[in-house]
Amino acid sequence: MTTLARRNPVLVVGIVAGVGLASAGWIAGNPVWAVCLAALFPIGYAIVVSILSTRIDGGDVLAGRPIDERAVSMNLEAGSWALGITAVVVLAAFAAAQASRGDSAPYAVMATVIAVAYVGSLLIVRRSR
């Protein structure tokens, strides 16, 4: 397992996430097709990324194995874009929930987690350099 985790951390995380989501769905009493679907997405993503990482440079970045400084830079930029887009989507969902008088608390929690994680990460990275 240690060798697999070092070689392909995305595959390990995908399998663990898929099994975890499937287990949660099974415990909740979801239908078998929903349990399988919950497992399929993270495991399928991990498999696709693992296959791509052997064929294209971008796949190495997605698999968490940047091969050079260019790939490291690309990974950092992609992560920044992903964080920004995720934050915008969560804030839009928060606003939509507020406008429809729905429960906006889950979106507020997610927005707070994103903000705290980002600021905390910046502080840790800055302190370590």
Distance of CA 109 to the CA centre of its chain: 17
Q: Look at residue 10 and tell me whether its pLDDT is greater than 80.
A: yes
Dihedral sign, Cα of residue 102, residue 105, residue 106, residue 112: positive
Residue 113's nearest CA partner among 82, 81, 87 is 87
User: pLDDT over 70 for what percent of the chain?
Assistant: 86
Q: Which tops the pLDDT comparison, 7 or 1? A: 7
CA pair distance 15, 29, nearest whole angstrom: 21
pLDDT of 6: 56
> Which amino acid, residue 122?
L
pLDDT of 4: 52
Instruction: Collect all residues with Cβ–Cβ distance below 8 Å to 13 and sequence separation of at least 6.
Output: 42, 46
Q: Look at residue 1 and tell me whether its pLDDT is greater than 80.
A: no
pLDDT of 129: 78
pLDDT tens per residue across span 48-85: 888 877 777 666 667 666 677 777 787 788 888 989 99
Name the range with the highest mean pLDDT among 42-51, 58-67, 84-93, 120-129: 84-93
Claim: this prediction has a pTM higher than 0.75: no
